[in-house]
Structure 1
Amino acid sequence: MDVTSLADSAELELRRLEAFRLERERLECEGARSIPMTPRELFETYAAFVWRTLRYQSVAERDLDDVSQEVFVIVFRKLPEFEPHGSLRAWIYGICIRVARDYRNRAHKRHEVLYDDVSEHAGGVSNAEIERLAAQKQLHQMLQRLDEEKRAVLVLHELEGLPMNEVAELVQCPVKTAYSRLAAARKQMLTMLTKAEGSR
């Protein structure tokens, strides 16, 4: 990344943090309950989680920054609705799912392609990197063939590495149900992978 790009990225991040700070002050002026962490702490704690969640929900890489920002704006606007005894991660996860669903609906209406073309990255990129991008694209396409409940459990446990009790809390279902969804998702993914390998 050159100096100009780095400066632009830093300026964008400062603008985001300033927007979060102003929103926090607005909420406090309205008598909202105290936010459990500063805007910077909230962003730094959950930014990567939000980014990955949106990516697994088929938000195109080119749109991830904008859609992630949309998530955090909603997080701060709706923070007074968050129950103190609940899981903040689960609450943010729910917002990610709704924002991603709206994003996909908008893209569908505009007939947009949500997956970046691997050939766009081909210039000056190694064969290994092209293969990695192709595998990543295939994974996302396979995940989208799962229904939302199975996909959520599979992504959170297998890709995020969360224990099943936390997964169940995030998707708001009994642990036994989460395990059943995971088993069904694994079986469906294996079937799709076998078919894909057989068609080569």
Structure 2
Amino acid sequence: MSAEDDNLVRRYREGEGDAFAALFARYHRLVFNYARMTLRDASAAEDLLQETFLAVANGAERYEPRGHFRAWLLGICRHRCLDWLARRRRRQKIATETGFLVLEAPVLDSPRQDLQRRERLDLTLAAMGKLPDAQREAVTFYALKELSYAEIAEVLGCPINTVKTLIRRGRLRLAKLLAKADGIPS
């Protein structure tokens, strides 16, 4: 799909808006899912989805086809997510220092019949939040099943074997955390 993506980027650079629409249609779910898993906030993930594709539109001239478009796209999303998390930490620190409590509205995006699935997702996301950053990112990319090990390595800027190790260790730790949450002795 990389050659197709490269062709779409080239066509977008030449002024074909339909090419950008095709890239968005192909990757918007991947970007949203990554942002949602990283931020644990559907509303913020929507914002980051828009910011990411705006950055792609504005930075298409800088894309070099020697890499993978998906890795480049998710690298942009990853940096936007890290910036968002840093801003949230600063806001929380200021709120704590000034004595103001910042409350965020709960996200109600699941129907009632999905309650059990939603609870399991919440447990999984909470457990993923306990993983070291590198493991969490590698496991997230792996869980989305959209990237190869090589593409994950490209996004994270590390060797493929490191990615494999991060995923293996992250999945093992995640399994232990989920078993503990379910009351299963390890």
In which range does the TM-score fall when normalised by the shorter chain? Answer: 0.7 to 0.9
Per chain length, whose mean CA-contact separation is higher, i.e. which structure has more relative contact order (CA < 8 Å, sep 6+)? 2
Tell me: CA distance 1:161–1:64, structure 2 relative to 1, closer, same or farther (3 Å): closer
Tell me: CA distance 1:152–1:84, structure 2 relative to 1, closer, same or farther (3 Å): same
- Three-state SS of the structure 1 residue aligned to 2:131 is coil
1:129-140 equivalent positions in 2, closer than 5 A: 129-140=114-125
How far apart in 1 are the matches of 2:137 and 2:44? 21
Could you tell me which of 82, 86, 97 is aligned with 2:63?
82
Could you tell me which of 15, 27, 39 is aligned with 1:58?
39
Native 8 Å contact 1:146 1:185 kept in 2: yes
- Three-state SS of the structure 1 residue aligned to 2:65 is coil
Percent identical: 24
Tell me: CA distance 1:138–1:88, structure 2 relative to 1, closer, same or farther (3 Å): same
Could you tell me which of 110, 121, 132 is aligned with 2:91?
110
Structure 1, unaligned runs of 5 or more: 1-23
TM, length-normalised to structure 1? 0.69
Could you tell me which of 180, 187, 192 is aligned with 2:172?
187
Structure 2, unaligned runs of 5 or more: 1-8, 93-101
Aligned to 1:8: none
Native 8 Å contact 1:107 1:113 kept in 2: no
- Three-state SS of the structure 1 residue aligned to 2:39 is coil
Aligned to 2:150: 165
Native 8 Å contact 2:52 2:80 kept in 1: yes
Tell me: CA distance 1:101–1:53, structure 2 relative to 1, closer, same or farther (3 Å): same
TM, length-normalised to structure 2? 0.74
Query: Number of matched residues?
Result: 166
Aligned to 1:69: 50
Tell me: CA distance 1:67–1:132, structure 2 relative to 1, closer, same or farther (3 Å): same
Q: CA deviation at 1:51?
A: 0.5
How far apart in 2 are the matches of 1:58 and 1:114? 13
Deviations 1:14-46, CA, capped at 9 Å, x for gaps: xxxxxxxxxx9xxx9xxx965897221121121
